[in-house]
Amino acid sequence: MKERTEAQKKIVTRFAPSPTGFMHVGGVRTALFAWAFAKKHNGTFILRIEDTDRAREVPGSIEQIMESLKWIGIEWNEGPDIGGPHGPYIQSQRLESYKKYAQILIDKGLAYADPYTKDEIEVFRKKAEEEKRPFLYRDHRPTNPPVWDGTQPLRYKTPVIKSYEWHDLVRGDLKAGPEALDDFILIKSDGYPTYNFAHIIDDLEMGVTHIFRADEFISSTPKFLSLYEGLGIEHPQFATVPPILGSEGTKKLGKRDGAKSILDYKDEGYLPDAMMNFLAFIGWNPGDEREVFSPSEFVEAFSIDGIQKAGGQLNEDKLDWLNKEHIKMLPTEDVKEKIISYISEHTKKLDTFNLRIDSIVPLIKERIVKFKDVSDMEEQGELQYFFTSPEYSKDILLCAEKQRKGKEHLTVKDLKPIFETLKELLNSLKEDAVISPESIKEALWPFADAEGRGLVLWALRTSLSGKERSPDPFVLVSVLGIQESVQRIDIALQKLSHE
């Protein structure tokens, strides 16, 4: 029997998802903890695909799993795409290994071919219900089971029905009574192993030392411990991570409850470092006041002691905040590249795009929390006015009426001098070497004070952008330039002249 040598005591963790659909945050968070623990201790992190449930397998899932992990920054040392000394790393390619250990259990008298049909098992189950007792397969072990030929299910014959106690690195000391034990299927009639059997064999052969797992596996641990004993092997250490709760904070998040694919967050323009930072804090704490971590800082800070027992809430408002913080840390060129990738080809082909994009990147950066917000801004017409003169009705100009204090009835006749004076003041800046928002404000502010700041700024903002809301109008002038700004004020005057 294979034993773990001292050389194999090097920390080895794994993430072993089933290819039954997209990867959501719960699975990725488990992978993240396993990866960080191995990386911090210079260990090995393995990606293994558990594809023995053939009926539920979804084509393309393996590729999606790998893309999801790579996007967030999780790289593996061994896996189906890069190989390694313990391959293959897809369970359906390891069937001979499971048969070998199945035969060992048969030879030890700890496994038997299940001779019963589904109908016969249903009869046993109904009788147990009628007698108000739990249905247990071990109550119906065949006296002389047939020789296992691979066409019948192979069941583990639990050798000792007893209580179990074990230590979990997160949950502490746990225990379960003998009622948790039963004879369970090792290999199904289709020749594929069950999870209960395959993961134990794979972990043994790959030298896994620490298993990071979801809390749903706690109830099955007594069965696993019995099988470890039956095989005569040492079990890895268990670290049960807390569940991720939905936005209400009361129910475990699942695909049926709106859990999104991790790649949906990528498409929405979240940064991978921010996503890693966010997931790390769902159920883990560094023990200090820090909240913003780079991947390397997270790995350095990570410890199993920091994993909490209670569930952690998925709070996307916190994700937005973290993403904003990570955007702030990006080099300007990286921010610019990201922003441009979310702008339509139509806008990027405008003559003034390359001329002005550098000036507006800081404005966009200030307003967004994720990069898809750039697309949303464009759809709402909040980008086009930077590159081309906006289309709008004169009604928006007349709304300036609401900004005027001390005069109830503002007419078009009253507005025209405002625009004329704005033109004059802007033209006076034409010869200045540098036209900054500050210099523009300095030139216009006395006039705004005299006529009413709300009125003057509204007139300037709407004539330049065609919008009720926009960046600071002084910034708009500095981006557009004096000539373009004056031309747009002329257009506003023309609109007011055509009553």
CA of residue 136 relative to chain centroid, distance: 40
Alpha carbons 187 and 200: distance in angstroms, whole number: 13
Give the list of residues 6+ apart from residue 237 with CB closer than 8 angstroms, or none: 167, 169, 209, 210, 211
Q: What is the dihedral of CA 461, 464, 465, 471, to 10 degrees?
A: -50
SS3 193: strand
SS3 368: coil
Give the list of residues 6+ apart from residue 421 with CB closer than 8 angstroms, or none: 447, 451
Phi, psi at 276, each rounded to 5°: -60, -45
Phi, psi at 288, each rounded to 5°: -140, -165
- State the catalytic residues: 255
Torsion over CA: 382, 385, 391, 394 (sign): positive
Alpha carbons 88 and 95: distance in angstroms, whole number: 10
Q: What is the DSSP letter of 241?
A: P
Give the list of residues 6+ apart from residue 45 with CB closer than 8 angstroms, or none: 12, 13, 14, 15, 34, 35, 38, 39, 74, 75, 76, 77, 78
Sheet order of strands, 210-213 included: 172-176, 164-168, 237-240, 210-213
Q: What is the DSSP letter of 146?
A: P
Please compute Rg for the chain using Cα positions: 33
In whole angstroms, how far apart are CA 255 and each of 26, 75, 229, 266? Answer: 10, 25, 35, 18
Q: What is the dihedral of CA 486, 487, 488, 492, to 10 degrees?
A: 90
Alpha carbons 291 and 281: distance in angstroms, whole number: 8
Please answer whether residues 186 and 156 qualify as being in contact, where contact means their C-beta atoms are separated by less than 8 angstroms: yes
The separation between the first and the last C-alpha atoms of the chain, rounded to the nearest angstrom, is 94
